[in-house]
Structure 1
Amino acid sequence: MAIFRAYAKVLEPDDPAVRIYKAGYRTCPGEPGQLLADVLQRTGGAYETTTQLSPSLRNDIREIAELTSDTALLAIADLAEVPVSLEPLRGLDPHTRIVIRAELQYEADEGSRVSGLRERRPAVATIMPDGTVVAGDALPT
């Protein structure tokens, strides 16, 4: 069964977003991630926030939920945003850069059965096995 996760974590130097940013490729304005202090300011100091679910992620969740008859996943597919606990970050320096992510992890061949994965967008950059970062799709399909 596919597993949906929404979480917050420290943005590590080896995170793909950091590596792509440091290589000079920009997918959005500013540095990757956000300051924990900024998130806490938006939540009024509460160690819980929300993250938006993109329409494509919601479609993937709905499709796999229907394929596997997973009612819990189907309920998530109807949500525009989901709660994310910041408790694992309690006690960190407020200037720590963090990421808040929502993802769907597939098991066995589930991913190959979801149409959204078959309709892949071109990459901004690719991290090669040796660690170098190159522009675009290094191995286009």
Structure 2
Amino acid sequence: MIVKHLNDIVNTKDDVDTSTWNARRLLLKKDGLGYSLHDTVIKEGTETLIWYKNHVESVYCFEGEGEIEVIGGETYPITPGTLYVLNGHEKHLLRAKKQMRMVCVFNPPLSGAEVHDKDGVYPVDETVEA
């Protein structure tokens, strides 16, 4: 059984803070579950280019307001209660009108230190789980 609290993650190496988002990585590849789970804050007034070409991400918003614009496609509003899944590896822009807080699930799981490259991509961690 795994039991953690957000306070166990904040201000550790699993609390990844960038100029546009802050991901508190609650469950990672090392936990051996086949997915990772994150409590993520999208900072107010920001726009982030994201393209999870190596991952599927499910996102549930429970605080704030923003939008997701699929590059070359539609724009969808995000408010508390909104769920979106990037099951087609959609390249997108994520914008926060008001600070948003999301629960994010990744498959394959993240190892913990990933940040987006210039194309908005996370690398795949190819190491074998212990």
- TM-score scaled to structure 2, two decimals? 0.25
| Structure with greater contact order relative to length (CA < 8 Å, sep ≥ 6) | 1
Larger Rg: 1
- TM-score scaled to structure 1, two decimals? 0.23
Between Structure 1 and Structure 2, which shows a larger proportion of helix residues? Answer: 1
Between Structure 1 and Structure 2, which shows a larger proportion of strand residues? Answer: 2
